[in-house]
Structures are given as structure tokens and as C-alpha cells.
């Protein structure tokens, strides 16, 4: 399992079968690298409430 986060040092879960990858969701190369070889992807992206368009 891979957790992809901007703040890997602050990620609260530790497990022998968990890899924590650092990166920005807008960096398609970093995302592709993190999910390469996985069987499934679960996205839990969150955005702040805003009146401007969300571009992610």
C-alpha cells in the first residue's frame, strides 16, 4: 500500500506494508510514480471551501 502526501514526515500511520511517498497531486509524474504497479487507487483528496473554481 502507498500513501501519497505532501507531508510524509507527518503521516500518522506506520505499518510494515505501507510506503509513504512524498509529492504534490498536481505533479502528474510524481503521482504516476507513486501508483506505478498498484492494483487500485483510492483518492481521498480534500479541498477548502471556496467560491473560485477547483482545478484539481
Q: DSSP state, 7?
A: -
pTM of the model: 0.75
Per-residue pLDDT tens for 4-56? 999 999 999 999 999 999 999 989 999 999 999 999 999 888 777 888 887 77
Return the pLDDT at 6: 92
Cβ atoms of 8 and 21 closer than 8 Å: yes
Return the pLDDT at 15: 96
Cβ atoms of 25 and 45 closer than 8 Å: yes
Return the pLDDT at 52: 84
Ranges of each domain in the chain: 1-56
Amino acid at each position: 500500500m502507498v500513501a501519497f502526501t505532501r507531508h510524509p514526515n507527518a503521516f500518522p500511520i506506520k505499518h510494515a506494508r505501507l510506503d509513504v511517498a512524498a509529492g504534490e497531486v498536481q505533479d502528474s509524474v510524481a503521482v504516476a510514480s507513486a501508483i506505478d504497479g498498484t492494483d487500485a487507487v483510492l483518492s481521498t483528496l480534500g479541498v477548502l471551501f471556496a467560491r473560485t473554481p477547483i482545478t484539481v
